[in-house]
């Protein structure tokens, strides 16, 4: 059997305002944006992090086909949600008892892209 070693390199996002959206996400992931023309790159903030690349939208968005599930340590979800709302995210809903192995909060970034902040209970 072939072992696959795939990791997330970058999340690419088309945005109505790449600069403002990149600024929001730079504060979320703790990265420093760099601009190349109208596009903005956020490098990973750590070896286990991921990069983000923002470019201008070329057409109206009909729907969101993908969203990020971000994980935080158990017990820190609510504080992280409060931090992100203070940065400009919008709280959409919480899912706290649907499944025993995860609790999450769904937020929207300043352009309405949904993403989740999840926490998994410690295993015995």
Position 3 confidence tier, pLDDT thresholds 50, 70, 90: confident
Q: How many angstroms separate the CA atoms of 80 and 27, rounded?
A: 12
Per-residue pLDDT tens digits for 45-102: 988 889 999 999 888 877 776 789 999 999 999 999 999 999 999 999 999 998 888 9
Against a cut of 0.85, is the pTM above it? no
The two tokens of residue 38 are 């109208």
pLDDT given for residue 62 in this prediction? 76
All structural domains of the chain: 8-57 (3.30.720), 66-124 (3.10.180.10)
pLDDT at 124 over 60: no
pLDDT given for residue 27 in this prediction? 96
């Amino acid at each position: 059997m072939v072992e696959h070693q795939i990791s997330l390199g970058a999340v690419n996002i088309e945005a109505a305002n790449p600069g403002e959206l990149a600024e929001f996400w730079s504060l979320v992931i703790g990265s420093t944006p760099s601009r190349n023309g109208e596009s903005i790159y956020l490098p990973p903030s750590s070896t286990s992090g991921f990069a983000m690349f923002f470019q201008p939208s070329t057409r109206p968005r009909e729907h969101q086909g993908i969203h990020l599930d971000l994980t935080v340590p158990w017990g820190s979800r609510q504080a992280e949600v409060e931090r992100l709302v203070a940065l400009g995210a919008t709280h959409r809903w919480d899912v706290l008892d649907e499944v025993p192995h995860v609790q999450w909060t769904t937020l929207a970034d300043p352009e309405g892209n949904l993403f989740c902040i999840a926490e998994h209970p410690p295993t015995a």
